[in-house]
Amino acid sequence: MAVFDRLPPRCATQRIDRTSHCRTSQVRQPPFQGPTWPNYQLRHTYLGRAPTLIQAIQCIGNRAMCKLWLRTCGLLDSVLAVVLHRHRPLGHARRWRNLPVYRPLVDLSTMEERHVILTYRLDRATIQELCAQLEPDLMSPIRQPTGIPPLVQVLSVLHFLASGSFQTTVAISSGMSQPMFSKVLSRVLSALLKHMRSYIVFPEVGDLPTVKGDFYALGHIPNIIGAIDGTRVALVPPSRSEQVYRNRKSYHSMNVQMVCLADQYISHVNAKFPGSVHDAYILRNSSIPYVMGQLQRHRVWLLGDSGYPNLSWLLTPVRNPRTRAEERYNEAHGWTRRVIERIFGLLKARFRCLHMTGGSLMYSPKKVCQIIVACCMLHNLALRRQVPFLQEDGPDGGVVAAVEPVESEEEEGEEDDIENRNSVIQQYFQ
């Protein structure tokens, strides 16, 4: 006997007749209102005529009876999920997200070369070369056609570094939102820092004769392979360690140590120390002592201001010159070491995010360090590709003079190796 043939008979319920005050019987119809069939063969024939299984279930009309019939036929597990999925309520309908398609707002090929250099500090060919180098790290791993192209990512970050504007301003000009530009900035900086060793290189043994000759042409001091100094880059300090970043000029900054060559290349940068740290401490905790110790047998020196100690490989000026030889040495020392001050001015003029006029960098110290190193790398890239430095038209010539020396922030250092400096004075300036 089929299931529907074994259904219980119509149930009888009792109710109270309010008019006669006696109990009467009233027949209540069962909740199932669909058709009933006398046997399984008739039901199978009727359902077989239905165009689809869904219409057949609709003929039954009751969800409970539908489940009971499917369970009897052995189809509940395989059919019920599909049927209910196709007849889910409208509130639970699947919503297909429309993927945004990025439309670039900047076309590098239609811009004038001068406008490209003013906006991005690099020429068109150099930008394309940089994009080709960073493209493997900037492409989406799943190759989404809706992602931001690597060229647009690089252009937006270059514009941010060059202008020192807020992220919202740069994001609008690049056609993206501010949160998206924040992710792009971190992505481009990380990709760029992977190639730091190919952009910032300390002179090797084979390059020493050329480097020494370039420095000798500046101030006639022999065997100089670099000038070292520190500069400040303002930032908004962390709230927990605010005093650590306050320098002696009463503003918060990072103390950046750099070594440069005579042709204004940056050969070393250390930007991880806060503004309150002394230059001599940064020098002792950097890689410079080890590198210069390896080159000591070649009798080469670095030039530093009076904030550094006198070492066997570091020459500082005489504080109180008493002889004519010491005066000539100080003059030659000042003319030669001035190249590092010009680089500070040029670097902050080219990348306004590092200058005080661009405001303090509102990032974590780690992100500020990445920005500083990235600017140094791009500075060397511009010099390597001979990209001219162009200032915006204005009465102040772009606010920052490119070759105007920055005021030296000298502090008294230690007199450790005066004999080495005296031997240089007696040998070359008597």
- Residues 34 and 58: beta-carbon distance below 8 Å: no
Q: 354 and 375 in contact (C-beta within 8 Å)?
A: yes
Q: In Å, what is the CA distance from 308 to each residue of 154, 214, 251, 286, 424?
A: 38, 23, 22, 13, 17
CA distance 105 to 175: 6
Contacts of 368 (CB under 8 A, 6+ apart): 233, 235, 254, 271, 361
Q: How many residues does the chain have?
A: 430
> Of 248, 302, 312, nearest to 278 (Cα)?
248
Domain boundaries, the chain: 4-88, 108-193, 200-428
- 313 CB-near residues (< 8 Å, 6+ apart): 292, 293, 295, 296, 300, 301, 302
pLDDT-derived band at 71 (thresholds 50, 70, 90) equals: low
Over residues 322-356, the pLDDT tens digits come to 999 999 999 999 999 999 999 999 999 999 999 98
**What's 52's DSSP letter?**
S
Q: Are the beta carbons of 228 and 259 closer than 8 angstroms?
A: yes
State the average pLDDT over residues 118-129. Answer: 94
d(CA 58, CA 258): 80
The answer, yes or no, to whether residue 415 has pLDDT greater than 90, is no
- Cα(303)–Cα(224) distance, integer angstroms: 7
Q: Is 292 exposed, middle or buried (0-12, 13-18, 19+ CB in 10 A)?
A: buried
Q: Which of 318 and 101 is assigned the larger pLDDT?
A: 318
pTM above 0.85, yes or no: no
* Closest to 228 (Cα-Cα) out of 345, 382, 344, 380: 344
Segment 261-285, tens digit of pLDDT: 999 999 999 999 999 999 999 999 9
Paired tokens of 53: 């299984």
Q: Which residues of 78-109 are buried (b: 16+ CB within 10 A; e: fewer)?
A: eeeeeeeeeeeeeeeeeeeeeeeeeeeebebe
